[in-house]
A and B are shown apart, each in its own frame.
Chain A
Amino acid sequence: MYRYDEFDHAFVASRVSQFRDQVERRLTGEISEDAFKPLRLMNGVYLQLHAYMLRVAVPYGTLDSRQMRKLAHIARTYDRGYGHFTTRQNIQYNWPKLSDIPAILEELAEVEMHAIQTSGNCIRNVTADHFAGAAADEVADPRPYAEILRQWSSVHPEFSFLPRKFKIAVTASDRDRAAIQVHDIGLQLKKNEQGELGFAVWIGGGQGRTPILAKKVKDFLPEADLLSYTTAIMRVYNLHGRRDNKYKARIKILVHETGVEQLSAEIESEWAHLREGALKLPDADIAAINAYFEPAKLDARAEGWGELAAWKKSDPGFADWVGRNVAPHQHPDYGMVTISLKPIGGIPGDATADQMDAVARLAEEFGHDEIRVTHEQNLVLPHVALADLEPLYRALLAEGLATANAGLITDIIACPGLDYCALANARSIPVAQEISNRFGDPVRQAEIGDLKIKISGCINACGHHHVGHIGILGVEKKGAELYQISLGGSGDENASIGQITGRGFGPDEITDAIETIVDTYLVQRSGTEETFIECYRRVGADPFKAALYSSEAEAA
């Protein structure tokens, strides 16, 4: 993984002292709260319902054990012993004191971490496929390009006061695990016919109040042009994005209102001036960044094949876990292990300090010291020998981290909702917990198969409800919480926006409604191999609506 050089260390240290100075000026009143707000947001500090919140960047979701231990230490020392992993592969702390935050940032800097641009109307932490560098299906590791973008976008003088936040995601496989079509810029690393690396570029995707899928503006952007072309997009957006209404300020609205042909022509004309300039990436620089992401040295461990079969036979729980949570690695003797942060009835994405320490220890022992955070709010050990899966499983089991539900109905994405968030209209966490408890039986989950439920506590859609196979949106109606259901959303390479079923459900009705939908699917599906989303796309919304609202129709 990338390691800071002296320049990076000095930069982050300067950024910390800059923020310390800003906090001091705020406390003495030299900066108004209004003017301070964007400054603190650009360093990940929110003012929430009960306290400040600090969101720490995990660039493209990659961590090592030393960094994970530091996150545990911060949770223990400055917070209440836990942290929350987010849909942007970051971690947030819910209870830090504002006066402690500069000290926390200094601790983070010791392990090459920061909170730069985890919020604010600027280019946010760049995300990537959580299986990058390990997945059998990738063209190349996308993270070096995410790292180049991370550096280039840090404290960018031209793009720090954009119309609205700006999110970039990078993937390198036809199977999109980074949800690039719902990002402001989505990049897919690919090879052209000459075998050269470049990007397919999408712009204008986003969720929030107006969910829109991104439009492709380039089929192949040579890798050397990554920063010049991105700058052209950003400049056109900065100059022309709407600033009269924050709900219409994302680039997706500019794309929609201007038209993708005209906008991409403007971007091309801007790019023509920039392309051969200072932003052109020299091959040597691309190679130097790539060198940090050289694949881990993985020895042949063929003995794992036989052992794995024997262990699976003797322990059905282990077999289930391997079946759900271990995915094929580039190296046939290895697997990519998802550590579920979705225990049955638990809070999606939360991990205690002890659990973080355990993951750090296990990453060192079995995982070549690499950890990933997924946008689905789980953790991943990307390089585990099949021969080590059994001891790893035992150790995870002891920490409450061996839930075998990756991709199943209880692997729910949920935002913090009204339990923490100042923007929320409704609670998300209790809804997730109740659904998880209702469907917690492993046999029942396995029967249902792949199903992504995503829950947001307000229209800002941090819980990605628009791209949930089943999406749940909490709203407030006449002072009460109400949950709208949408069906058929998807954030992968076949991205789609879910459609609202009809009237919403109260907190005491929503789990029953989800059960009705699931039961309808089980009746409608052509066979056990037809997943929920495939079935929904075949039969449409009607059977589900009929099941949800039939009693009303009869009553009327």
Chain B
Amino acid sequence: MNFDFTDDQEQLRDAVRKWVDKGYSFERRREAVSAGGFSRAAFNEIAELGLCGLYVSEADGGMGMGPVEGMVAMEELGRGIVLEPLTQSLIAGGVLSGYAPDAVKAQWLPNIASGEALVVLAYQERGARYQLNVCASKAAQTPAGWAVTASKSIVSAGDMAEAFIVSATVGDKIALFLVERSASGVTARGFGTQDGSRAAELTLANTPATLITLDGLTALEHAVDIGIAATCAEAVGVMDKAMAITAEYMNTRKQFGVVISSFQALRHRAADMKMQLELARSMSYYAALKLNAPAPERRAAMARAKYQLGNSMRFVGQQAVQLHGGIGVTNEYIVSHYFKKLTQLEMTFGDTLHHLSEVSDRMQDTAGVFA
């Protein structure tokens, strides 16, 4: 039982925080949002920090690190509401390392780690909401290998990525494929999302694809769980900073001749925010520490974590805006962007009611962290 970070982990945190503070200003972010919600230059800088290869072995050109390092990096990116989706590189690194044939690993992992290839998960379909086992996309064997015909929805940075991890059925089972954006039959129609970042609707028409695994649902669940843990950590960073911004504002803003942090009604709200933040941080630790557990235990833990995080995100985001008063609902001031980020993260990889249902369905007779 130990929740301390190692010196190496603290150094990683410092390095990422330094980049966010110095290299990822709100102005730079604003420009990236105006330019479409994705900056290749910023993504490359994240890669230069080694973050894209956190879950890639050193032999494959990565850092060979684990969920705690992933959590540390995501928390820090969250503090800067960074648009560029490191979560996707963590998923790609983790899933290919765990499930792909050696040749695919050798071809892709070094490029994922270096950031040359942004590989993103394309799994959601219209009408499937958050269900992973609903998949109308299909794959078929061809003389040259495999071809996939698919429609995938809200694919993170989909028109900026070099390749996709795509779920498609083979017979009645879901398999996972790697598809290059430059391949024939690929259409990626990009658009902005509510938090200022970017996504795309992806269609594949008989597109050549490389098989990752025929046991695709297992791998997809794992992929989403890596995404959930990363999202939880990112949200902790976003909330931590949103709280700090709010506390600073409350200690500066005066009404009725005094700083508004002197009003008990507002102080209690801040205490409630702190409660939600720390419950969230505790459950983000829990998610990171359960990410390598056997699948049933891991799935149950991620549902619990995302349920807590979802509630915390909504409360902290809404109250951060509320405690700012009018300035909180402007687009110019920074806090509304933290709120929108939290809102989007709540609805990523399963929203709060979805995960409540998961927790409820998986409930055992026992109780607690170790049950």
Q: Do A and B come from one complex?
A: no
**B interface, CB within 8 angstroms of A:** none
